[in-house]
Structure 1
């Protein structure tokens, strides 16, 4: 079998083995528990979603103290700083359907400029 024929057969076998990865858009309809709606016909619950780290809430605690001239301490930056807010209801997300269609990777948020 020629190399080109082998490559075509491998590609055909990969597609016929199941549903290949597909790119989809969804809208977050609920955050706790997470729920994403795709094409207004399919609602994916948290059990079917795989999140990437960049979509999780991330905050930093920058609490520190200042010494005044008299030696007393004064609290500074007592609130946590939100670096990433995480997914919010209404966010549009980019999804990758894993081969077989049972799980979906929530790849990233979609933003408009």
Structure 2
């Protein structure tokens, strides 16, 4: 083998032994609020990445908007009732009328409320927060999520770019 062949073989072995790509897929093993800090596992051979070495990109940070307390104004609410003894007089003839203040009452189906909101993902209405005061546009990371990581500073830091759906880790 000539010198060029030896150098090419050394280069190939170095790449095979190292990590030739800066992109990696990891699994969230711990995440707030259930745990104190975020942890992501890349491989069984490596200790989990702690929050101190992770930078979160916008797609993996929780975003939510408040469900505003509101009421509707009804300008026309006239009606009559017909009974065997004849029609009634006009009722409710002095507008405007206002509905009660509303948000999401207890027991109300969040999917029905979200139908008025043009925020859908994968054919489903966007979820509500546990306290039903917010529509979740982008959920926070949770244990079990697969994420795409960009290794920087020779593997000393990682940028969590996005969630990953499907495929193998």
Whether the TM-score (by the shorter chain) exceeds 0.5 is: yes
**Map of 1:25 onto structure 2:** 25
Whole-angstrom CA distance in 2 between matches of 1:91 and 1:72:
42
2:54 corresponds, among 11, 31, 49, to: 49
The correspondence of residues 1-113 of structure 1 with structure 2, limited to 5 A, is 22-32=22-32, 33-42=37-46, 43-67=48-72, 70-71=97-98, 73-77=100-104, 79-112=133-166
Distance 1:21 1:99, change over 3 A: farther
**Given that residues 21 and 99 in structure 1 are in contact (C-alpha distance below 8 angstroms), is that contact kept between their aligned partners in structure 2?**
no
Whole-angstrom CA distance in 2 between matches of 1:85 and 1:98:
25
- The TM-score, its normalising length taken from structure 2, stands at 0.50
- The TM-score, its normalising length taken from structure 1, stands at 0.72
Whole-angstrom CA distance in 1 between matches of 2:51 and 2:73:
50
Relative to its length, the structure with more strand (as a share) is: 1
- Unaligned runs of 5+ residues in structure 2 are 1-18, 75-96, 105-131
Any idea what the Cα deviations from partners look like across 1:37-93, whole Å, max 9, x if unmatched? Answer: 011122100000010011011111021311465445321246311111121100111
Any idea what the Cα deviations from partners look like across 1:6-50, whole Å, max 9, x if unmatched? Answer: xxxxxxxxxxxxx98611111000003000001112210000001
Aligned partner of residue 142 in structure 2, secondary structure? coil
Runs of 4+ in 1 over 6 A off after TM superposition: none
**Given that residues 54 and 157 in structure 2 are in contact (C-alpha distance below 8 angstroms), is that contact kept between their aligned partners in structure 1?**
yes
Whole-angstrom CA distance in 1 between matches of 2:60 and 2:21:
20
Whole-angstrom CA distance in 2 between matches of 1:84 and 1:37:
22
- Unaligned runs of 5+ residues in structure 1 are 1-18
Whole-angstrom CA distance in 1 between matches of 2:151 and 2:72:
55
